[in-house]
Structure 1
Amino acid sequence: MISRLLVANRGEIARRVFTTCRRLGIETVAVHSDADAGLPFVAEADHAVRLAGNAPADTYLRIDLLIDAARRAGADAIHPGYGFLSENADFARAVVDAGLTWVGPPPEAIETMGDKVRAKEVAETAGVPVLSAPDSPTDADFPLLVKASAGGGGRGMRVVRSLDRLDAEIEAARAEAASAFGDGTVFVEPYVEAGRHVEVQVFADADTAVALGTRDCSVQRRHQKVVEEAPAPGLPAETERAMCEAAERLARGIGYRGAGTVEFLYDPATDRFFFLEMNTRLQVEHPVTELVRGLDLVELQLGVAEGAGLPGDLPLRGGHAIEVRLYAEDASYTPQSGRLVTFDLPADGRFGLLPSSGVRVDSGFASGDEVSTFYDAMLAKVMAWAPTREQAVRMLVAALRRARIHGVTTNRDQLVEILTDPVFVGGEMTTTWLESRPSPGSTTIDRRTLVAGALMLAADDAARRTVQQGVPAAWRNVPSQPQRTTFEGHEPVEWWGTRDGFVVDGAIVLEASPVHARLEVDGVTVRYDGLIDTPRTSGTREVYVDGPVRSVRLREVPRFTDPADAVASGSLLAPMPGTVVAVKVEAGREVAAGDVVLVLEAMKMQHTVTAPHDGTVTKINVEPGAQVASGEVLAVVDQSPGG
């Protein structure tokens, strides 16, 4: 029996495993980097061991440090979570060799499925259809997909559409895979443009392997899943049964144990499916299977690791479950970092099963936590279960709209757009749909939101003053002239402060406080909640306004600006905090628009910074290994006369 379990991972998945352990009476051990020391998963563990440093290669990817941490903390078992070393056969063997219980499949099965080329051969032997690319591709064979042999999550993955780009994309994929997983091995396969990503959750003990149903994970950006649901909608019953049987054959054929996922590419046009890979771990999206089955998959993992068999009668709760991944990223999918001033997600349950219809949230962060640049950008998984898909969608949209998230830009609004798009509502999404759908463009901010933000700032000023508190906010001795508040990117808001409240345009009257504003229009009162923050880096006030539909971040334009804050024309600014991994040019070199100047790494993804125009590189302010802040000047490209 397991008495003390170390989770060799971080954030949300560590908290998820700890929740089941507490219910079962198993003590828990967290390991953490320096950047993660203050996160909730560390506080929730019974014991915690520091891994000095921040980069994954120095912390969560160090087998020796993890085994030593287990020894020092008195753990008798290790759960790998997902990502990092969860599909590393050497780690599994090291755990077993150290006399510890490995909560995962046998190392041999991890090794077989971890080599995705070999995995395809095994699948083909088991009678599962596979995709194969030619050894020497020609123009007729494109598009092709370059994939990392180890790991997943879209890292080390590139779509290549022409032969002249193949070598460069392979090298880029190798570098990204090596950084994310410690293994730069990649392979190439045909790329199906309009397929669906459907996977089967399998579970195996010493005697059998069973399929626990399908999940659809077709909504992806940059080959990383954004929305997952169970069961896969619109899948013909015969096809679903064939997929589940194929997954069971594959698991039995390699002597699998524990939780695993067999991923397929489904072509709706031909009703055919092809093996993609097998993930020999618990998936990020495992909760949607838990919700429709009424199972705790972590509890089943622990039971199999202790030598118990699967229950003879696995429940099937039914209904439909949908999960979205809430990321710290902007609309262009650029990872963001910083302090989560407010992180409030409405939920009926967390890290566990729901007793009835409702919303479950599995998160790795709380209000006040710092989102670093060292790890994946996912903040939380928000999911809903209901008797029907339509009800689950509606419930999930409502939960996202009620969420209050301040301080870090997230994809919350994009998730609402996805869930309400007719293509998604109709279950017609494919793996290319999200990135090919027309961009909604910049969403217009309702003027009432700007007014509410301006008056919250005014009310904040009034609340802070220590004298003349009876005088109306922003009172002036020329009452015919309004006050003006300007936010970056928006027209000024003009308003008057009176003894009865605030007046805008002579018709809109608001009562405001630093935390909310009530706006009355045509007899209807709408409440806007907010939060005012002054970032340490800039000192410029920001106000977060939560309206009836969305949340908006507004930055106040100072009345007087410091000339020292201006940057030279042609400056290349860091799009996010990160680490410089390569500088491709030197000062004095001529470049063309689009040429790569340097490469940044943030949150396990690499991002290229290119020349905005033809010109000459006059300054390079960084070197490989340098840590940079968002907005920092990395280099300067002076535009040539003909540029």
Structure 2
Amino acid sequence: MFTKILIANRGEIACRVAATARRMGIRTVAVYSEADAGAKHVAVCDEAVLIGPAAAKESYLCGDKIIAAAKTTGAQAIHPGYGFLSENAEFADAVAAAGLAFIGPPARSMRAMGSKSAAKQLMEGANVPLVPGYHGDEQDAAFLQRQADRIGYPVLLKASAGGGGKGMRVVERSEDFAAALASCKREAISSFGDDKVLVEKYLTRPRHIEIQVFADTHGNCVYLHERDCSVQRRHQKVLEEAPAPGMTLERRMAMGEAAVAAARAVGYVGAGTVEFIANQDGSFYFMEMNTRLQVEHPVTEMITGTDLVEWQIRVAAGQPLPKQQAELAINGHAIEARVYAENPEKGFLPSIGTLRHMGTPAAVEFELGGTPGLPAAVRIDSGVREGDAISPFYDPMIAKLIVWGADRTQALARMSQALSEFQIVGLATNIAFLKRLIESDAFASADLDTGLIERNGEALFPQAKAAPAAALALAALSLVESEKDKSASVAANPADPWGQALGWRMNGAYQRQLSFTDDYAAGTEAKAYNVKLTYRAHGWDIEMAGVSSRLELVARNGAELSIRLGDTACHGSVRRDGEVFHVFTGGRHYTLGYNDPMAHAGEHETGGGRLTAPMPGKVVAVMTEAGAEVKKGQPLVIMEAMKMEHTISAPSDGVVEEVLYQVGDQVADGAPLLAFKAAA
């Protein structure tokens, strides 16, 4: 067995691998970029080596630097995690050539499965069911369009070397094919350095079901049952669960055996995932094989009582699989939610910023390896801590929230409760969206397919509602209590009522007007709230929207407040970030901007008519020019950020007065991209 391994990754997967290695008594070496010098994965490993600047291509994608770090520190093996170099056959070969063990599959297996088109030809020979499509090498645009016309629309364009939803486009009509192909190829070359695509029939209402397989060097190969990953946005997974709802024993066995056949066809060793697209009628087709550990592997661990990272390490060390197929039973139900720094109301654009506050649900640490008894009800895998920054250089994942229940109903309830307890301040997140998704009729009833989010847009993206009286009262009370604390700390004489912000008056009552705005919902005007407080000897009178109530502070412990509003008891926590109050109450998060009358008005808004960048990124296409007359919704500029394309369109009919950036330019968040004049 190894005594020291290097983890060639970052974030939550590096922390996850380090946790298992520590339990096994194996020392770990982290690698990090300049941007990650203070990152959590650096802190949890025994040693750490700087390998380059922030950009991944100059650090985490530099295999020679990583191998050199392993040799220098005396590591005997390299665990690639997922992403970066995890499916890079050349890197695996280089690791072996350096006399180190690669904790992953053989390079030959990666090459066989690395090209989606070649893999599908291989699977056809192994009698694994395939979706109708074109998987060949011919890439002429006209030829590919003829193939799409032959297959019949809608079709799906997929980057042959792709993964993670990158380089994928659904084309509904033949006349849209050329533009979609060009966009798909741009994203593919940017993400994978290869613009080859394949064309497949796009199935309506399909489910995405994947099988976890594991093989060793002794000829053993097993499947650890399935995961349902149907709930996606932009072809990227949002929720994953195991086992798949509605799966029959016969279908599970058929899919498992097909997955094992796929693995054996390429001489596979280690952890892998065979992904299938499944029709509602029970038929299924091979999509691709991910030759690495998956982001969603924890749900498999929780229902099978296994530690897949430990299996990876043992297999790489030449040991046989810890369990055979007959020993891999399913226990209960597990669901994973990916908590991202992103704004669902703005098309899931990533959010950049600092985690000023990060409060997570109470979690009992999951006993990896399957100790006797039940798994933990809640597990959190994260690579960040409060105070860390989410940068534009890497994936904006904050944490993976995983719950286990004796059945799906219990798992759903636990996930809903856990999301209610998750608190993030400092950047936008998808937590509220995830909670709506978990509680939606479609997901709760297991009416699953890859279009679930789009089909249920009205329920998942509801119109913004007014902040409730309890949230406003908590914000107001938090403000006045913090002012009391501050005045008491600076008062020359703590007993002097004139030097403290207690609201005391010799004659009469002190009244105060507070103004908040609630602009959390994208695309809506900020809603103003006026709160009138009247100080009393023991508490306050509060008036909101013309309704007066008695307000009392029952208990306070830091940011946690218990209050009585009229006859109603309320509890919540309030986190202030500058002039913004983040109120967490009733399982919801309310963002209230405080309009401080003593503060300066701030910067005046710049003149209108400029379309701005929604986030930091690079301009990859300019589709207009100065003087051009454009129509509302017409694409003007395409930006790339975090390997995803974002189209900036005309907000109305008008004229482009000036184009401020060209293809290849880096653009800051909020930078004006064009000068635009709306039509009269």
User: Shorter-chain-normalised TM-score: which range?
Assistant: over 0.9
Q: 1:272-327: CA deviations, max 9, x gaps?
A: 11111111100111111111110110111111111111125445351111111111
Provide the TM-score with structure 2 as the length reference: 0.88
Aligned to 1:491, what secondary structure does the other structure show?
Answer: strand
Residue 105 of structure 1: how far off its partner (Å): 0.7
When the two structures are aligned, how many residues end up with a matched partner? 634
Counterparts of 1:69 and 1:579, CA distance in 2: 32
Residue 391 of structure 1: how far off its partner (Å): 0.8
Aligned pair in 2 of structure 1 residues 144, 554: CA closer, same or farther (>3 Å)?
Answer: same
2:403–2:414: 8 Å Cα contact kept in structure 1? yes
1:452–1:528: 8 Å Cα contact kept in structure 2? yes
Residue 624 of structure 1: how far off its partner (Å): 5.0
Counterparts of 1:236 and 1:553, CA distance in 2: 45
Residue 178 of structure 1: how far off its partner (Å): 2.6
1:462–1:473: 8 Å Cα contact kept in structure 2? no
Residue 533 of structure 1: how far off its partner (Å): 1.5
Counterparts of 1:411 and 1:507, CA distance in 2: 34
Counterparts of 2:150 and 2:156, CA distance in 1: 14
**Taking every aligned residue pair, what percent have the same amino acid on both sides?**
41
* Corresponding residue for residue 594 of structure 2: 556
Q: Which moved more, 1:309-318 or 1:378-387?
A: 309-318
Aligned pair in 2 of structure 1 residues 525, 281: CA closer, same or farther (>3 Å)?
Answer: same
Aligned to 2:163, what secondary structure does the other structure show?
Answer: coil
**Residue 606 (structure 1) aligned to one of 634, 640, 645:** 645
2:550–2:566: 8 Å Cα contact kept in structure 1? no
Q: How does 1:631-642 map to 2 (within 5 A)?
A: 631-641=670-680
Residue 411 of structure 1: how far off its partner (Å): 0.8
Q: 1:65-111: CA deviations, max 9, x gaps?
A: 22223233332211111112211111111111121101111111111
**Residue 222 (structure 1) aligned to one of 231, 234, 244:** 234
* Corresponding residue for residue 442 of structure 1: 463
Q: Which moved more, 1:619-628 or 1:277-286?
A: 619-628
Counterparts of 1:476 and 1:398, CA distance in 2: 48
User: Is 1:320 aligned with 2:333?
Assistant: yes
Counterpart amino acid of residue 580 in structure 2: E
Counterparts of 1:47 and 1:8, CA distance in 2: 13
Counterpart amino acid of residue 209 in structure 1: C
User: Is 1:301 aligned with 2:312?
Assistant: yes
Residue 420 of structure 1: how far off its partner (Å): 1.3
Counterparts of 2:335 and 2:541, CA distance in 1: 44
Counterparts of 2:476 and 2:660, CA distance in 1: 38
Counterpart amino acid of residue 393 in structure 1: L
Aligned pair in 2 of structure 1 residues 600, 187: CA closer, same or farther (>3 Å)?
Answer: same
Aligned to 1:450, what secondary structure does the other structure show?
Answer: helix
Q: 1:127-151: CA deviations, max 9, x gaps?
A: 1110122552228711111112224
Q: 1:13-50: CA deviations, max 9, x gaps?
A: 01110111111121111122222222211111111122
Q: How does 1:87-486 map to 2 (within 5 A)?
A: 87-133=87-133, 136=146, 137-138=148-149, 141-206=152-217, 207-268=219-280, 270-313=281-324, 314-316=327-329, 318-331=331-344, 332-350=347-365, 352-353=367-368, 356=374, 357-440=376-459, 441-444=462-465, 445-465=467-487, 466-467=490-491, 468-473=498-503, 479=509, 482-486=512-516
Counterparts of 1:34 and 1:557, CA distance in 2: 38
**Residue 572 (structure 2) aligned to one of 514, 528, 538:** 528
Counterpart amino acid of residue 84 in structure 2: F
Q: Give me the CA root mean square deviation.
A: 2.4
Counterparts of 1:312 and 1:573, CA distance in 2: 55
Counterparts of 2:669 and 2:574, CA distance in 1: 25
Aligned to 2:417, what secondary structure does the other structure show?
Answer: helix
Aligned to 2:645, what secondary structure does the other structure show?
Answer: strand
Q: Which moved more, 1:288-297 or 1:34-43?
A: 34-43
User: Is 1:504 aligned with 2:520?
Assistant: no
Counterpart amino acid of residue 212 in structure 1: L
Counterpart amino acid of residue 345 in structure 1: T
* Corresponding residue for residue 529 of structure 2: 492
* Corresponding residue for residue 23 of structure 1: 23
* Corresponding residue for residue 138 of structure 2: none
Aligned pair in 2 of structure 1 residues 525, 308: CA closer, same or farther (>3 Å)?
Answer: same
Counterparts of 2:364 and 2:641, CA distance in 1: 31
* Corresponding residue for residue 537 of structure 1: none
2:151–2:200: 8 Å Cα contact kept in structure 1? no
Counterparts of 1:554 and 1:259, CA distance in 2: 46
Residue 229 of structure 1: how far off its partner (Å): 0.8
1:459–1:473: 8 Å Cα contact kept in structure 2? no
Residue 617 of structure 1: how far off its partner (Å): 2.8
Counterparts of 2:672 and 2:601, CA distance in 1: 17
Q: 1:511-533: CA deviations, max 9, x gaps?
A: 28672443324533111211111
**Residue 574 (structure 1) aligned to one of 608, 613, 620:** 613
Counterparts of 1:190 and 1:598, CA distance in 2: 30
Which consecutive segments of 4 or more residues in structure 1 shift more than 6 A? 474-478
Aligned pair in 2 of structure 1 residues 35, 322: CA closer, same or farther (>3 Å)?
Answer: same
Q: 1:200-259: CA deviations, max 9, x gaps?
A: 110001212111101111111111111111111101221111001111111112111000
User: Is 1:519 aligned with 2:563?
Assistant: yes
Any stretches of 5+ residues in structure 2 without a counterpart? Answer: 135-143, 492-497, 519-525
Aligned pair in 2 of structure 1 residues 26, 68: CA closer, same or farther (>3 Å)?
Answer: same
Aligned pair in 2 of structure 1 residues 350, 146: CA closer, same or farther (>3 Å)?
Answer: farther
1:291–1:317: 8 Å Cα contact kept in structure 2? no
Q: 1:332-357: CA deviations, max 9, x gaps?
A: 31111101111121243457537534
Counterparts of 1:490 and 1:462, CA distance in 2: 28
Any stretches of 5+ residues in structure 1 without a counterpart? Answer: 535-540
Counterpart amino acid of residue 202 in structure 2: Y
Aligned pair in 2 of structure 1 residues 522, 109: CA closer, same or farther (>3 Å)?
Answer: same
Aligned pair in 2 of structure 1 residues 447, 246: CA closer, same or farther (>3 Å)?
Answer: same
Aligned pair in 2 of structure 1 residues 39, 499: CA closer, same or farther (>3 Å)?
Answer: farther
Residue 504 of structure 1: how far off its partner (Å): 0.8
